[in-house]
Amino acid sequence: MKRKFEKVAISSRIRLARNVSGFNFFTKLREESDAVFIINSVKNVISECGDFDLIRLKDLPLNECNALLERHLISKELIENKDISAVLVSPDAHVFVMVNEEDHIREQCIFDGFDLWKPYFEIKKIDDALLDEIDIAYSAKYGFITSSPANLGTAMRASVMMFLPAIERNHDIELIKKEARKLGFTVRGLYGEGSETYGSFYQISNQNSLGKSEKEILDGVYEYVVSICEMELSAREDILAINHNHIIDEIFRAYGILKESLLLDEEEMIRLLSLVKFGDVLGYLEITDQKAFSRLYNEGCSANLAEIEKISGNLKEEIARSQYISRKINEIVKKVK
């Protein structure tokens, strides 16, 4: 079943929120020394779990921080707290632990594909070590104490990033969002809570964790995502049957623009890349390197593009983006029909 949905459910993520007992939440930490103590405490534990890199955000230029955000390694809240925050990243970048974000500790693990249990088992190794060595705030009644009431209980968020171009075109997304809320799930954009929707990507996760076991959360999200996958696959068939020529024309136009345009802004890039991805899904284009193609969504964004191409200025950025994306598209995408 997982393979059946591999072109709908793109990646799976588990996030755990934890706070150190005896310390205020990050907004009211009494001293910078408190923040440093929390960072060092987490670092000492995590270093025993593997060769993690510790990145203090205050030591990075803002553009490098934004590049990490575009790669989904950190959150915008961590950047807002950059004077007191840090992130620990595993060598393969599957596991990243943010320190002094909305909570003292945000442990996250993400893997490609539709498999919530894989990141769950991976992040639990880290979490067990932290619980063994650090006095984590916990209540017998409310579970793990967190900055947001929505995260009380297990304080676990299980989420799946989904590619839903057909549902989006059928104008069923708003119905799904309403249904999700009723069932205890939430639908967000590419960058999580509060973010806009780009490129037909939607993040589906549990809404609350209080009163539910971790297994119940995982099973619930899994079953709901399966239902959305089935809906998307059905919608893809319907779209091709009803409006075949228009869809294929739109896909090939997007492919041509990415190959030949002189100027390309970030929002248009994401929209066009997703049309090319849709073309691959439908079998009219072939992406020969899926991982390299997926990286384009990040590499073409402003901060990462600046790091790669060493550019500055809006006009230069749009030209550099167009040239970079064109080069990559010519390397890894080709027409099939």
pLDDT value at residue 323: 95
The mean pLDDT of 266-289, rounded to a whole number, is 96
pLDDT of residue 303 exceeding 90, the answer is: yes
pLDDT of residue 195 exceeding 60, the answer is: no
Distance CA 116, CA 222 (A): 7
Overall pTM > 0.85: yes
The mean pLDDT of 184-199, rounded to a whole number, is 74
Band the pLDDT of 1: cuts 50, 70, 90.
Answer: low
pLDDT value at residue 196: 62
pLDDT value at residue 130: 97
Nearest to 180 by CA among 152, 155, 208: 208
**Strands 185-188 and 201-206, bridge-based pairing:** antiparallel
Q: pLDDT over 90 for what percent of the chain?
A: 78
CB atoms within 10 A of CB 54: 16
pLDDT value at residue 191: 61
Beta bridge partners of 28: none
Band the pLDDT of 244: cuts 50, 70, 90.
Answer: confident
Nearest to 281 by CA among 256, 243, 247: 247
Q: What is the DSSP letter of 129?
A: H
Beta bridge partners of 99: 86, 105
User: Which stretch of 3-12, 262-271, 306-315 has the lowest confidence by average pLDDT?
Assistant: 306-315
pLDDT value at residue 312: 66
Distance CA 6, CA 36 (A): 41
Higher model confidence: residue 23 or residue 104?
Answer: 104
Higher model confidence: residue 192 or residue 18?
Answer: 18
Reported as a single tens digit per residue, the pLDDT across 128-171 is 999 999 999 999 999 999 988 888 999 999 999 999 999 999 98
pLDDT value at residue 150: 86
| Residues whose CB falls within 8 Å of the CB of residue 144, separated by 6 or more in sequence, listed in order | 17, 18, 19, 136, 137, 138, 151, 152, 153, 154, 155
Distance CA 284, CA 202 (A): 23
Show the DSSP H helices in 184-265 as ranges.
Answer: 214-260
| Residues whose CB falls within 8 Å of the CB of residue 243, separated by 6 or more in sequence, listed in order | none
Which residue type does 305 have?
Answer: L
Ramachandran class of 153: left when φ > 0, alpha when ψ lies in -120 to 50, beta otherwise: left
Per DSSP, the three-state class of 54 is strand
| Residues whose CB falls within 8 Å of the CB of residue 26, separated by 6 or more in sequence, listed in order | 35, 81, 84, 85, 100, 101, 102, 103, 104, 147
Distance CA 301, CA 103 (A): 27
Reported as a single tens digit per residue, the pLDDT across 99-112 is 999 999 999 999 99
CB atoms within 10 A of CB 141: 6
Widest distance between CA atoms in the chain: 63
Distance CA 173, CA 202 (A): 9
Contact 321, 266 (CB under 8 A): yes
pLDDT value at residue 116: 97
User: Which stretch of 104-113, 142-151, 189-198, 307-316 has the lowest confidence by average pLDDT?
Assistant: 189-198
The mean pLDDT of 39-67, rounded to a whole number, is 94
Q: pLDDT over 70 for what percent of the chain?
A: 94
